Structure 1
Amino acid sequence: MTLKTNNKKRRNYPFKRQLNRKVRRIIFMLVAAAIATGINYYNTNFKKSDNSHVELSENHNSSGIQKDQLFSNKHQTQALAQLEKAKDQTNSRFWVGLNATVIKLLKDDLTGSRHQKFLIKVENGMTLLVSHNIDLAPRVPIKQNDQISLQGRYEWNNRGGVIHWTHHDPKGKKAGGWISVNGKKYK
């Protein structure tokens, strides 16, 4: 009886060997695919070598001092009037361009699309949240008290409002928005 059992094991051994090879190949392919996916994810989301959405703009006044106030006084006055009206209308949504001062840097929002967040104050004293998508545009190197200009979409909230879409349109259908600081436009 022992011989028969041993013979069966010997007969099945080549089959098991083939099965083990197939399983190992499948596992190897899955691991290779996972590594390739991880590398692609890293290059897409974390690598900072792509500066295609950063423009150098020539914003100098006559004395040669860099100036980031890209919007005229007339434009700024109109934008501030529009924001004042929007404070009382909960369904307010519109594109706006502003000159502002960064008053506070906030923690990044890492849920879903990653966003760089900070608070700005405009000339009329109104405080707004800026939510800049850093999955679609480069992080803006700002610090407290920086003078910036930005263009984005305003949406009402119970704290004054939020400005988002401060990046290029990934589908290329809209002009998109941007943030300008220290002579560079980030979109």
Structure 2
Amino acid sequence: MKNFLIILVIATIAYAVNQQKSSSSKPSSNTQLNTSSIEDQRIQKAFRNQQSDIQVKGSGSVIKVLPDDTKGSKHQKFILKLASGQTVLIAHNIDLAPRINSLRKGDIVSFNGEYEWNSQGGVIHWTHHDPQRRHEDGWLKHKDKIYK
């Protein structure tokens, strides 16, 4: 009986040590949230300070799909709500990049583009490649497909 208790104690300690090691070696589920939070904070700061021309990345949920803007360069337009609660208008140039045809309210879209301040939360544009290579290429990601 004494040997059984010793084995049980050793097994319990070994299990606890193993659990602690495996949980500390796994990336935290908050890692992506922390990255998104940092980017959201950059966008919120730019909005508060009325700054523009800032390259940003992030993601949000589509809350409204707007009609395409067909005056001048054609743009697909929709509004994203970020995790912070801030909304931004995405103006995606569909003369230079493919249109997201399957976009629906509630979809998650990730982006890399340039933030421009406006009183309603801001606009993200340059979500496409720059054919003249003078600007950082941007993109949109929807359902694991990248549009640039």
TM-score, scaled relative to structure 1: 0.59
Q: Which residue of 1 aligns with 2:58?
A: 98
Q: Distance in 2 between matches of 1:74 and 1:169?
A: 29
Extract unaligned runs of 5+ from structure 2. 1-30
Task: Output the CA distance in 1 between the equivalents of 2:75 and 2:111.
Answer: 16
1:89 aligns with 2:49: yes
**Mapping of residues 135-174 of structure 1, within 5 Å:** 135-141=95-101, 142-174=103-135
1: CA distance, partners of 2:78 / 2:131: 23
Shift of 1:91: 3.2
Secondary structure of the residue aligned to 2:41 is helix
Q: Does 1:181 align with 2:139?
A: no
Given candidates 23, 36, 40, the residue that maps to 1:80 is 40
Contact 2:37 2:83 in 1 (8 A): no
Distance (Å, rounded) in 1 between the aligned partners of 2:56 and 2:36: 10
**Unaligned stretches of 5+ in structure 1?**
1-70
Q: What secondary structure sits across from 2:39 in the alignment?
A: helix
SS class of match (2:89)? strand
The alignment-based identity, stated in percent, is: 44
**2:78 — aligned with what?**
118
Letter in 2 for 1:175: E
Task: Indicate if the aligned counterparts of 2:79 and 2:89 stay in contact, CA closer than 8 A.
Answer: yes
Distance 1:75 1:151 in 2: 14
